Amino acid sequence: MAAARTSDTILVTGSTGKQGGATARRLLELGRPVRALVRDPLAPAATALAAAGAALAVGDFDDPDGLAPALDGVGAVFAIPPITFEPGVEAARGQALIDAVAKAGVEQVVFSTVASSSRTGQSAAAKAPIERHLHDRIRLATVLRPVRFMTNYISSGVMGIDGIVDGRHRHLFAPDDPMQVIALEDVAEFAVLAFADPRRYAGRTLELAGDQPTPVEAAAAITAATGVEVRYEQLTDEEADKLGPLVAETRRRQRAGERWHADIEALRVIHPGLRTFTDWLAQSGAAALRAHLQGGTPAAGS
């Protein structure tokens, strides 16, 4: 293993995506040097980060040896597991990234995975081995487990779930059960806290949420904030089954009582500015949603 690094530069993976982009922008706002790992330096999201002050490094998780130049001279890493539905591939890629980080002598990693279940306390199956490997290999390791993003409403949905289409938000959640959500900006804030105080957050796993409206309450809040009527519809069992085994299994677990379980009040002690759903709507969400629902382009940074 190489000697430990003390540089202020933070390598951000997934920097052209949601969490990585939000974290890179927040770090830059605070004056931290950011190196953004990208596949295509000419992609619009990459050039926007460069314009904001980030240094770009080209790399790919499928070529872990090729990550050495990106890791050279950095003091910490913000990492997002590469998403794939191929069994075993996601874990292998995440573990390879961690091995590359350890080989480079970087001692701090903030890794964002996904919220765990209240019944198991375990992260998603593909994420769990990555988390274990992280704690085994990296001395100052912090895991963030965010719940559903508030910005998920600003989409056309995936497989008939999520987003808002024709005034309807359709999902698996029971209409009147609390549904935990988090603003992307707050995921970035918790990452910033960990980078500012590595030893305090070393070894910690934080389940992240900022609010828990019911789906019906969230739809009503969007209607009030945007002036566009939105209603919530829960998918039937038959509809969930048609969307595939993963969706059907998620539906079954929810019926069995599994829920996300972030302690929002405890998180607010750590981060007093933690956004509620109405905060997010007032700050940026309503404008982005209004543009989306009216067929326009979501506001920048949404």
10-146 in CATH: which number? 3.40.50.720
The pLDDT tens digits of the residues spanning 253-288 come to 888 888 999 999 999 999 999 999 999 999 999 999
The Cα 163–Cα 184 span in angstroms is 16
Least trusted range by pLDDT, from 100-114, 182-196, 252-266: 252-266
The Cα 272–Cα 269 span in angstroms is 6
Q: Return the H-helix or E-strand segment holding 234.
A: strand 231-234
Q: What is the pTM of this model?
A: 0.92
The Cα 131–Cα 145 span in angstroms is 10
Task: Give CA 17 to chain center in angstroms.
Answer: 9
CATH 3.90.25 matches 148-183+209-259+276-295: yes
| pLDDT above 90: percentage of residues in the chain | 74
Domain assignments of the chain as residue spans, ordered by start? 10-146, 148-183+209-259+276-295
Please indicate whether the domains covering 10-146 and 148-183+209-259+276-295 agree at the CATH topology level: no
In 3-state terms, what secondary structure has residue 226? helix
The Cα 280–Cα 62 span in angstroms is 36
Pull the structure tokens for residue 170: 């359709």
Q: At 228, phi and psi to the nearest 5?
A: -110, 125
C-beta separation of 41 from 204 below 8 A? no
The pLDDT tens digits of the residues spanning 114-163 come to 999 876 555 566 788 999 999 999 999 999 999 999 999 998 767 678 99
Task: Give CA 3 to chain center in angstroms.
Answer: 30
